[in-house]
């Protein structure tokens, strides 16, 4: 199992949904970086369920920093964060230990781990594991912001409802990072929540699209071919549960454009800076940043745990069966996933920038 990502700056995650807790070890951060535990807590709050549109499982996500931080600053040694699991109802899963829940990793986990996997709540495949990514990512986000780099994500689409596009990107990022339900247009947000509740009432769920913008990344960052910015980001993003698609800039829409439309014209600004008139390439050319905002979108699939009856199998008995998932589940996870996307992007960027300039650059 590969649970470590990154080279100069890396994260290692461990834990199961119904185990004793979740851990994240963030290595390679320079000494002297401020660590704001209040900010870590606020980021974890964005990932936690909230209201009728989320699961009833409420975890306080109290975290402990076990190493790597002293006197409010990083020491330069690995930062270990522990988040204990407290609100667990494992009995909900004992009856379906050998049932392949559609859309879940139960069957593939059985094939790989031969029955020794922790099946409760999805085990290591659960979105619960992303709590560690958010906690570690908060430290990276703070370090990047002090270097003038900002990251923000909004719910571009959910339940058939679309949010407005990014406008003044830096202002929009600041606005989004203050919200629990991250939309740019409040009316669209209300309609999305209505669509989520409608799916819940139908014993179903919905997915969505998250759009992320990153500003302040200097031109010339990225290591083609295999460590390009797109390669590194996509690698981590596809590791987040429920992410089934990633596109950069205008992405798949470019397939329907002509070159004259898709090409971003370069210009010299009044202050001598270089910019592009459009940003179809999402701030990246040849896998390297060009100084424009880096933009990408992630497709989030509908929550696979739904309350309607479904067809499946018992993979031990070798029998077909119908069943209904019991327990506490989200009718949508797109609104909770956005802070995970921000955190993943921050960790990736810290690693890329440290490889380019050295780890002390982040201090």
The answer on pLDDT for 131 being more than 90 is yes
Report pLDDT for 56: 63
- Give the confidence band of 88 by pLDDT, cuts at 50, 70, 90: low
- Give the confidence band of 325 by pLDDT, cuts at 50, 70, 90: confident
| CA distances for 201 relative to 208, 279, 331, 336, angstroms | 18, 40, 9, 20
The answer on pLDDT for 94 being more than 80 is no
Q: CA–CA separation, 7 vs 58, rounded Å?
A: 34
In the chain, helix, strand, coil percent, each to 5?
35, 25, 40
Mean pLDDT in residue range 317-344: 92
- Residues 173-198: tens digit of each pLDDT: 999 999 999 999 999 999 999 999 99
Report pLDDT for 254: 98
Cross-strand pairs, 214:
151, 294
Residue 146: both structure tokens together: 């002090």
Q: CA–CA separation, 260 vs 254, rounded Å?
A: 11
Mean pLDDT in residue range 41-61: 83
* Greatest C-alpha distance within the chain: 72
Mean pLDDT in residue range 121-133: 92
Question: Read out DSSP for 42-54?
Answer: HHHHHHS--GGGS
Structural domain spans, the chain: 4-362
Instruction: Choose between 97 and 164: higher pLDDT.
Output: 164
Residue 260: both structure tokens together: 């004259």
Mean pLDDT in residue range 83-103: 81
Q: CA–CA separation, 36 vs 131, rounded Å?
A: 17
Mean pLDDT in residue range 56-64: 80
Average pLDDT, the chain: 94
Mean pLDDT in residue range 40-65: 86
Q: CA–CA separation, 183 vs 163, rounded Å?
A: 6
Q: CA–CA separation, 115 vs 316, rounded Å?
A: 9
Share of the chain above pLDDT 90, in %: 87
Which class in CATH covers the domain with range 4-362? alpha beta
- Among 112-121, 159-168, 251-260, the range scoring the smallest mean pLDDT is 112-121
Residue 221 per-residue DSSP state: -
- Give the confidence band of 23 by pLDDT, cuts at 50, 70, 90: very high
Other CB atoms within 10 A of residue 256 CB: 9
E strand segments, the chain: 4-5, 10-15, 21-27, 63-67, 69-70, 73-74, 79-84, 150-158, 161-162, 208-215, 243-248, 266-268, 274-276, 284-285, 288-289, 294-300, 310-314, 319-323
The answer on pLDDT for 59 being more than 80 is no
Cross-strand pairs, 99:
314
């Amino acid at each position: 199992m590969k649970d470590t990502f990154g080279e100069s700056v890396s994260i290692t995650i461990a834990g199961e949904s119904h185990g004793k807790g979740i851990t994240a070890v963030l290595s390679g951060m320079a000494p002297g970086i401020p660590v704001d535990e209040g900010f870590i807590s606020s980021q974890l709050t964005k990932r936690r369920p909230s209201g009728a549109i989320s699961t009833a499982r409420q975890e306080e996500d109290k975290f402990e920093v076990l190493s790597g931080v002293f006197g409010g600053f990083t020491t330069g040694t690995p930062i270990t964060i522990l988040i204990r699991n407290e609100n667990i109802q494992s009995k909900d899963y004992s009856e379906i230990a050998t049932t392949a829940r559609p859309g879940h990793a139960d069957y593939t986990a059985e094939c790989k781990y031969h029955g020794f996997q922790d099946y409760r709540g999805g085990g290591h495949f659960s979105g619960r594991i992303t709590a560690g990514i958010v906690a570690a990512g908060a430290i990276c986000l703070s370090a990047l912001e002090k270097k003038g780099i900002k990251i923000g994500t909004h719910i571009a689409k959910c339940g058939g409802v679309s949010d407005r596009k990014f406008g003044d990107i830096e202002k929009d990022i600041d606005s989004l990072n203050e919200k629990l339900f991250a939309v740019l247009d409040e009316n669209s947000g209300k309609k999305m929540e209505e669509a989520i509740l409608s799916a819940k009432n139908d014993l179903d769920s919905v997915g969505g699209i998250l759009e992320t913008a990153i500003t302040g990344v200097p031109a010339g960052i990225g290591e083609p071919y295999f460590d390009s910015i797109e390669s590194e980001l996509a690698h981590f993003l596809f590791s987040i549960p429920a992410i089934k698609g990633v596109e950069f800039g205008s992405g798949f829409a470019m397939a329907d454009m002509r070159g004259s439309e898709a090409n971003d014209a370069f210009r010299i600004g009044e202050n001598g800076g270089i910019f592009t008139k459009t940003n179809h390439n999402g701030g990246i050319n040849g896998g390297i940043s060009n100084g424009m905002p880096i933009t990408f979108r992630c497709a989030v699939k509908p929550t696979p745990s739904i309350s309607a009856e479904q067809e499946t199998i018992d993979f031990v008995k070798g029998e077909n069966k119908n069943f209904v998932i019991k327990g506490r589940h989200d009718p949508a996870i797109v609104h909770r996933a956005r802070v995970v996307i921000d955190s993943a992007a921050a960790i990736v960027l810290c690693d890329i920038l440290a490889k380019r300039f050295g780890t002390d650059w982040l201090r």
